[in-house]
Amino acid sequence: MLGKIKKTIAKYGMLNTGDKVVVGVSGGPDSVALLHSLYQLREEYQISLFVVHLNHMFRGREAEEDAEFVAKMGQRLDIPSFIESVNVPRIMEETGLSAQLAARQVRYQLYERILAQEGAQKIALGHHGDDQAETILMRFLRGAGADGLTGIPPVRERIIRPLLEVSRQEIENYCQEQELAFRTDYSNLKTIYLRNKIRLELLPLLEKEYNSNIRQTLVRLGDILRADSYYLQEKALEALEEALIRFEEGRMILSWEKISAHSKALQRRIYRESIRKVRGNLDNISFEHLEDLLDFFLREERGQKTLPGGLLIEKSYGNILIKSKESQEEFTYKLQIPGSTSIPELGMKIISKLIENPSLAKPKVDIPWQAYLDYYPACGELVVRNRREGDRIRPLGMTGSKKLKEFFIDQKIPRYERDRIPLVAQGSEILWIVGKRLGNKRELPKHDKQVLFLQVEFGDERRKE
């Protein structure tokens, strides 16, 4: 079995010389075999080991005995051990999480804390080949797509699974050969959980009646789909980079034309990766959500869709916006005259100065990020803000006023950009749609008038659109 483990470690580049490895040990045969095998290989790889065990407090005295067993094993092998207890049932009550999800979250938090505390590089877990087969079959029964059928990843960030190409029978044989004691979690023998029903009932039936090598077949399916998934993932990330127009915290803008040039399979992955980058995860985003998006964007020229987790996706004038709803905020800043006014939401600032000689207030060229305004201090302070419901403007060169919304529509400015266009206003009057249009001059006594020069400066590399 050690030979298989070494091949798996080499195949997936799981360990580097000198690594410090946190080993999750429940006390069952899988984790006991994992700890013992890594202990056997520690000098060859020059690694240091740390035992971590969490008592979830589900099984009373039995769970306490598991913790005592793991602590004694760590002492016997002279490996530093971290044994902790957390009341997971209480966390379930407080959060509404399922037993499995709550336990997993607490357990992984402990692994990460010890990893940081000890300056370790890897977290080794005891999932094996039979776990892989069960996972793939369970996901198939639940309707997973190709990516879901890749199963448990051998390596995910700092998590490694050296036993993933070893069977449960090989692990039990190893424990017997090495005279390794282990604990038995009798809840694994109850068929009230889907995974247990698959392990205890469905897989044995499939082996007996349909395919004696069903476990190996499922693992091979996962390997094939994983290789395909990695390739498609690389292509999707390349396509996403090409389609990307702008990416800021909480929002991303993509070119619909460039996305639609790709196959449906790649489009689905592009949207999925976009969502992952904006939200940080894909929680509750299903295959059906992505299919609905593809169908919607194919049928509609413009429109919006909402997805779980407070996500808004909009198609407008040939672009796609993906953003968190929370990222849309109103802002208002008093314009410093003279001086500099920062607008952190937009990564820009507006520089202002007063010009005493009106003859100098004539721009030589039309620069959208500069403006010369008639300024009447007696009419109140100037502010820079984003739009509000009911805003109107009297565009320079036109008679009468029009709704700001209508102006944006006429200019074919996407809806998702409208909240991010700064407006310079005095009272209810919009003097400048920054970068777009000036308002009409007012007829007030000339002795009240000053000339104000404004210039926009950008503090990042965002596109000035």
Quick check: bond before 338 cis, omega within 30? Answer: yes
3-class DSSP string for the chain: CHHHHHHHHHHCCCCCCCCEEEEECCCCHHHHHHHHHHHHHHHHHCCEEEEEEEECCCCHHHHHHHHHHHHHHHHHCCCCEEEEECCHHHHHHHHCCCHHHHHHHHHHHHHHHHHHHHCCCEEECCCCHHHHHHHHHHHHHCCCCCCHHHCCCCEECCEECCCCCCCHHHHHHHHHHCCCCCCCCHHHHCCCCHHHHHHHHHHHHHHHHCCCCHHHHHHHHHHHHHHHHHHHHHHHHHHHHHHEEEEECCEEEEEHHHHHCCCHHHHHHHHHHHHHHHHCCCCCCCHHHHHHHHHHHHHCCCEEEEECCCEEEEEECCEEEEEEHHHCCCCEEECCCCEEEEECCCCEEEEEEEECCHHHCCCCCCCCCEEEEEECHHHCCEEEECCCCCCEECECCCCCCEEHHHHHHHCCCCHHHHCCCCEEEECCEEEEECCCEEECCCCCCHHHCEEEEEEEEECCCCCCC
Q: Do 393 and 272 belong to one domain?
A: no
User: How far lies 454's CA from each of 6, 27, 100, 337, 421, in Å?
Assistant: 67, 69, 59, 10, 15
Distance of CA 342 to the CA centre of its chain: 29
Distance (Å, rounded) from C-alpha 267 to C-alpha 290?
9
pLDDT given at position 407: 81
Tokens of 68: 């005592």
Reading the block at residue 278, the tokens are 């904006």
CA distance 128 to 245: 43
CATH number of the domain at 102, please: 3.40.50.620
Token pair for residue 73?
A: 């094993």
- The reply to whether 118 and 262 lie within a common domain is no
Select from 46, 61, 58 the least CA-distant residue to 86. 58
Q: Are residues 14 and 131 in the same domain?
A: yes
Angle at 414 between CA 413 and CA 419, to 5 degrees: 90
Residue 464 falls within a domain, yes or no? Answer: no
**Whole-number Å distance between alpha carbons of 175 and 124:** 18
Alpha-carbon span 107 to 99, nearest angstrom: 12
- Assign residue 248 the CATH number of its domain: 3.30.465.60
Give me the number of domains the chain comprises: 3
Residue where one domain finishes, among candidates 211, 234, 258: 211
In a domain, 463, yes or no: no
The verdict on residue 279 lying in a domain is: yes
Look up residue 201 and give its two tokens.
């009932």
Same domain assignment for residues 168 and 182: yes
Check residue 363 and give its pLDDT: 54
Asked whether residue 316 is domain-assigned, the answer is yes
Residue 219 lies in a domain: no
**412 and 318 assigned to the same domain:** no
User: pLDDT averaged over consecutive 10-residue blocks of the chain (465 residues)?
Assistant: 94 94 95 96 95 92 93 95 93 87 92 95 95 94 87 94 95 94 81 86 94 94 93 94 86 90 92 88 83 86 81 84 72 88 82 74 65 77 85 72 80 77 84 77 57 79 41
Angle between helices 2-11 and 29-45 (to 10 degrees): 70
Task: Tell whether 388 and 446 lie within a shared domain.
Answer: yes
pLDDT at residue number 156: 92
Residue 12 lies in a domain: yes
Most distant CA pair in the chain: distance in Å? Answer: 101
441 closest CA partner among 433, 431, 428: 431
Query: Does residue 319 sit in the same domain as residue 336?
Result: no
Residue 433 has what pLDDT?
Answer: 86
In a domain, 216, yes or no: no
This prediction has a pTM of: 0.69
The answer to whether the beta carbons of residues 383 and 425 sit under 8 Å apart is yes
Contacts of 182 (CB under 8 A, 6+ apart): 27, 28, 29, 32, 175
Which of 211, 236, 263 is the last residue before a domain boundary?
Answer: 211
Could you list the residue range(s) of the whole structural domain that residue 251 is in? 224-327
Instruction: Tell me the residue length of the chain.
Output: 465
CB of 314 closer than 8 Å to CB of 415: yes
**Domain limit, last residue, from 186, 211, 236:** 211
Q: What is the CA radius of gyration of the chain?
A: 31
Asked if residue 158 and residue 22 are part of one domain, the reply reads yes
pLDDT value at position 464?
A: 39
Residues 161 and 292 in one domain: no
CA–CA separation, 121 and 47 (whole Å): 10
Q: Which residues pair with 383 in a beta bridge?
A: 334, 425
Same domain flag for 200 and 60: yes
What pLDDT is recorded for position 465? 42
Same structural domain, 42 and 181: yes
pLDDT at residue 151 in the model: 93
Is 218 among the domain residues? no
Q: Number of C-alpha atoms within 13 angstroms, CB side, residue 442?
A: 16
Residues 137 and 261 in one domain: no
C-alpha distances in angstroms, 5 versus 20, 23, 92, 133, 172?
18, 15, 36, 18, 15
